Amino acid sequence: MTAEGATTPPRLPLDWIAASLRRERVRAGLSLSELAKRAGIAKSTLSQLEAASGNPSMETIWALAVALGVPFSALVEAPAPAVHVIRAGEGPTVHSEQSSYLATLLSASPPGARRDIYTVTLEPGTVRDSEPHIPGTVEHIVVSAGRVQAGPRGEAVQLGPGDYMSYRGDVPHLYEAVEPGTKFVLIMQHM
């Protein structure tokens, strides 16, 4: 508490900012020196921020966001979960008054996104390792038959019929059938 009895505002987690800065700088293809120059800050300050040390001001973070061409929130908001799963029968569902039609929203398309849709058949015995796709790719899977282990390496999740998941496709990921006759719809979203 301060002398006036007000609480001190919480500090932003430096590891969030550090990870976001590194991710966005690499995505933009900029060196530490180039980003520091564009943002008008010292290279040592940027280096400290990427090492999760220091105490960045809003102005410093704002200058970095502008130099990277990303919203301020991209550098300070809590990291989104890397994997998002909706089990069969879960999720926001709406129904029709005119028929037995039920629709469950699994994922809304963000503005400016492009999506490619695939049907996939996979049998047990082999693992499909996929290298990272272009930066910003997100994959969505809806299982129709069998069981599949899928997702980023080290974070794969087993899914069954009707299950949905989303995860970053711009990192190494895999697909492995757990049961014969495994089928799923794969949607690749490119930003």
Work out the average pLDDT over 37-65.
89
Q: Assign residue 47 a region (left: φ > 0; alpha: ψ between -120 and 50; beta: otherwise).
A: alpha
Please, is 99 exposed, middle or buried when counting C-beta atoms within 10 Å of its C-beta (0-12, 13-18, 19+)? exposed
The order of strands in the sheet holding 127-130 is: 127-130, 173-177, 148-152, 157-159
Residue 11 has pLDDT above 80, yes or no: no
Residue 5 has pLDDT above 50, yes or no: no
pLDDT confidence of residue 12: 55
Residue 33 has pLDDT above 80, yes or no: yes
Which positions ≥6 away from 24 have C-beta within 8 Å?
68, 70, 74, 75
Instruction: Give the start-end residues of each E strand in the chain.
Output: 83-86, 93-95, 102-104, 114-122, 127-130, 138-145, 148-152, 157-159, 164-168, 173-177, 182-190
Cβ–Cβ under 8 Å, residues 159 and 122: no
Distance from C-alpha of 160 to C-alpha of 18, rounded to nearest angstrom:
36
DSSP state of 130: E
Least confident segment among 47-56, 59-68, 83-92: 83-92
Prediction pTM value: 0.54
CA atoms within 13 A on the CB side of 117: 3
Distance from C-alpha of 32 to C-alpha of 41, rounded to nearest angstrom:
11
Work out the average pLDDT over 35-45.
94
Provide the H-helix boundaries in 3-144.
Answer: 14-28, 32-39, 43-50, 58-68, 73-76
Distance from C-alpha of 131 to C-alpha of 138, rounded to nearest angstrom:
13
Look up residue 155 and give its two tokens. 């974070």
Look up residue 151 and give its two tokens. 């997702």
